[in-house]
Amino acid sequence: MGPLSGVRVIDLTRYMAGPYGSMLLGHLGAEVIKVEQPGTGDPMRQASLYFQDGLSGHFASGNVSKKSLTLDLRHPRGKEIFLALAARADIVLENFRPGVLARLGLDYERLQAVNPRIILGSVSGFGQSGPWRDLPSFDLVAQAVGGGMSLTGEPGRPPVKMGIPIGDLAAGVFAAVGVLGALHRRERTGQGEFVDVSMMDVQLSLLNYLAHYYWASGKVPEPEGAGHPNIVPYQIFPTPTGYLAVAVYGDHFWPGFCRALELPELIEDARFATNDLRCQHKEALLPVLEQRIASRPREAWMARLAEEGIPAGPVHHVDEALASAQARERQMVVEAKGPSGSPMKLLGSPMKFKNAGEEITPPPTLGQHTDEILRGLLGYEEAAIETLRREGVV
C-alpha cells in the first residue's frame, strides 16, 4: 500500500512531461486512470523506433502503473462520463495547450461544479499567462528558452541539449509536487486547487546558483563542459578503461585526493592549498592530474579514491548504469508481465518507503481498462457500454 493509496487521478496527459508526473503519482500508490482518444490514444504509443512486447518505448517510459480508458471528450456523452469520473476523483492532470480544456467545456470551473474538492494540475510550455501563453513547446524548446541549453556542451562549441529530456521530465516532477502540495492543503481546508506548471518556469528554476552567479557578478555563465566554473577539480578524467568523474568539492577532500593519486607533493604546493587558489592555477594543475589519472584503469582509481572518501564515479553508458550492482540492489530495474505475458523490463521507482510497498504494473494497452472502469466505478451495464462503443464514445 503506497502513501497515495486511495487517491484517484484522472490523467489527460500525453507525450512525456505530463505522463511522467502522473506516473510518479502511480509509483506512490495512486490509482491513475489514463483517458485516451479512442482508436489512437496517446501519440507516444506510435512515436518510437523501439517496442517492448508491442508497446512503444516512449509510451512505456511514462505510463507504467496506470489504467487506460478510451473516451472521446468531444462527444457529449464522453464529456458526461468524464465529469462523472471527475466527481469521484481527487486529481485531474492535463497538458493540453492553455484554453483547450475551456473549449471542451471541462475547465477548472466546470470541474469544481461537480467536485469542489478537485485538484486540477496543468502542465504547458509557457503557463496559463504571459505573452507566450499560446505557443506550443516540447522538450527541446523548453531547454532552449530556459537558458540551460546555453550552458551545456564544451566551451566554444554550439549549445547542445541534455542527453535526457530534462525539459519534459522536470516539468512532470514539479507537476507531481504541486498537486501533492494542493492535496495536503485540501486535507486541512477542504478546498480544491488549480496548479499551473510551465516548462519554461521549471527550467528557469533549475538555473539555480547560476542565476545567482549572474546577478552577483554581471557575467553571463558560459559552458564548462564537464567542469565547474569555481570548483577544481570537479570534472571527468580519461582513463584506459573509460572516463572517471571526480568531485573535490571542498578543501577537506584535497589532501585525501592527493594521497589517492600518490601525489603528496601537491598537498604542500602553496598554489593549490585552497579551492580559490586551485581555480586561479588550474592551467598548471589539471595537466598533472590528467596525466596521472590516465596512467591507470578507472577501477583502480575508484578503489583508491573510495578508501580516502573522495566523491568519484565511473561515467557509465546506459547499459552499464542499468546493469550495475547498485541499480539491482535498489530495484531500479524490475520485471513485469507484458501484454503477451512475456517478461518486460521496466524502470523502478526512485522513491523508497520503509513502511509502504509498491507493485509496478506494465503500461496498459489502449483501452485495456475501459469496461472495468465504466462497469466497476460508474455502474454502467454491459448493454450501455456496447452502445457507447458503437457510438464511438469509447
| Cell, residue 355 | 513502511
Does residue 285 sit in the same domain as residue 357? no
Do 22 and 160 belong together in one domain? yes
User: How many helical (H) and strand (E) elements, i.e. helices and strands, does the chain have?
Assistant: 18, 13
Q: What pLDDT does residue 276 have?
A: 96
Q: What is the pLDDT of residue 357?
A: 74
Give yes or no: residues 101 and 187 share one domain: yes
Separation CA 10–CA 31 (nearest Å): 8
- Co-location of 195 and 250 in the same domain: no
Identify the pLDDT of residue 306.
Answer: 97
User: Could you list the pLDDT tens digit for every one of the 394 residues in the chain?
Assistant: 799 999 999 999 999 999 999 999 999 999 999 999 999 999 999 987 899 989 999 999 999 999 999 999 999 999 999 999 999 999 999 999 999 999 999 999 999 999 999 999 999 999 999 999 999 999 999 999 999 999 999 999 999 999 999 999 999 999 999 999 999 999 999 999 999 999 999 999 999 999 999 999 999 999 999 999 899 999 999 999 999 999 999 999 999 999 999 999 999 999 999 999 999 999 999 999 999 999 999 999 999 999 999 999 999 999 999 999 999 999 999 999 999 999 999 999 999 998 887 788 999 999 999 999 999 999 999 999 999 999 999 9
Amino acid 3: pLDDT:
93
List the catalytic residues: 168
| CATH code of the domain containing 80 | 3.40.50.10540
**Do residues 89 and 186 share a domain?**
yes
**3 in a domain, yes or no?**
no
CA-based nearest residue to 322, from 352, 298, 345, 351 = 345
- pTM of this prediction? 0.93
Query: C-alpha angle with apex 358: 357 to 361, nearest 5 degrees?
Result: 160
Residues 293 and 340 in one domain: no
Q: Which of 281, 298, 316 is the last residue of a domain?
A: 316
- The reported pLDDT for the residue numbered 1 is 79
Label residue 277 exposed, middle or buried (CB < 10 Å: 0-12, 13-18, 19+): middle
pLDDT at 359: 81
Last residue of a domain, one of 316, 335, 353: 316
Do 31 and 71 fall within a single domain? yes
CATH number at residue 304: 3.30.1540.10
Based on the fold, state whether residues 93 and 174 are members of the same structural domain.
Answer: yes
| 190 in the same domain as 263 | no
- Do residues 170 and 75 share a domain? yes
State how many domains the chain has. Answer: 2
170 shares its domain with 196 = yes
**pLDDT value at residue 47:** 85
- Shared domain for 138 and 162, answered yes or no, is yes
Q: Which residues contact 180 (CB under 8 A, 6 or more apart)?
A: 25
What was the pLDDT predicted at 49? Answer: 83
Range of the domain at 148: 8-206+325-390
Domain assignment of residue 36, yes or no = yes
The CA distances from residue 229 to 118, 270, 372, in Å, are 45, 21, 56
